[in-house]
A = this chain, B = another copy of it.
Amino acid sequence: MNIVFSTKPSEKHQTYLTEKFSKPDFYFYEKMDMAQAALPDAEVLVTYGGDLTPELIRKSKKLKWIMLLSAGMDDMPLNEIEEAGILMTNVRGIHKTPMSEYAISMLLQVYRQAKAMMKNQENHVWNKKLHMQEISGSTMVVVGAGAIGQEVARLAKAFGMKTIGVSRSGRNVAYFDQNEKVENLKDVLPQADFIVSVLPSTNETRYLYTMEHFKLMPDHAVFLNMGRGDVVSTDVLLEAIRNQEIAHAVLDVFETEPLPADSPLWDEENITVTPHISGLSPLYMSRGLEIFSQNLEAYLSAKIEDMQNRINVSQGY
């Protein structure tokens, strides 16, 4: 049984896997270019997923399981994967620690004027007059109340915030004071000091936020998007910021990534741009391979039902 990686884990991680599992043969390749030739004999493929194409899936005649080392399902050849009856699992959950730290970090950065502080240090200026705000006691609306949204809410509660979760089902989720269905999003926006969007890209979420949503948010609101960039158009974002419908936008994801060098988003005083790094962590690969390794144990014992994070390929999540 051949397990092909289209990304190369460190020596330490490779040794961990080969020592733990003696039966399968592991093939570690740096990129899909190099992994391609090994695919027709692969039973398992471990990949970040961005390198998957319909053609590759069709060529991989023996493929039974794709382990994704990411969580976003956009641009996956889902039709081909479904037709071939390939099992798919991902690393949902491992992003929650870095992403929740990102959210809290960026909101604090905006509220505590980090940018102006740094300029003042550069210029040797001692200025105590910058307006320092507290995130404690504010209200956060988290749009997307899954594992990541819940972890953001858990930290927000530690900071004494009121938390409102918005999800498709509106079901009660721990660490949220209130839970609403996505069709009631507009009702809760006027209360939001912070709106944290962790929505994936699906047919239902694409361009979900319109100008009307930003008008409903308070003028002092901070909108943070670390889900997917196509939940709101760049034009709407720019208009909302330029018309001061909200005070600040923190963006880690964009309609087009990398964000083109000539995008007007870079230069807006009240927009903070980061290069889709909210989920990065030095522990990313260790955590991802831990899930893979548990899933591989279940797979080898033919206990498919014990495998974590199985994707419903037809629904795309």
Residues of A within 8 A of B (CB): 97-98, 101-102, 104-105, 108-109, 112, 114-115, 117-118, 120-122, 124, 126-128, 130-136, 154-155, 158-160, 257-259, 261-263, 266, 272-277, 280-283
Contacts and interface: CB of A to CB of B under 8 A. Distances in A.
B101 A105 contact: no
Contacts of A118: 114-115, 118
A128 B98 contact: no
- Interface centre among A109, A115, A257, by most B CB within 10 Å? A109
- The copy count of this chain in the complex is 2
Contacts of A261: 124, 126
7 contacts: A101-B134, A108-B108, A117-B274, A120-B275, A124-B262, A126-B275, A128-B280
A160 B101 CA distance: 11
B98 A283 contact: no
B112 A108 contact: no
B282 A132 contact: yes
Contacts of A101: 108, 112, 134-136, 159
A281 B105 contact: no
Given A101-B134, A104-B104, A122-B266, 19 more contacts: A97-B160, A98-B134, A105-B105, A105-B108, A105-B112, A109-B109, A114-B118, A117-B274, A118-B118, A121-B273, A121-B274, A124-B263, A128-B275, A128-B277, A130-B277, A133-B281, A133-B282, A134-B282, A155-B159
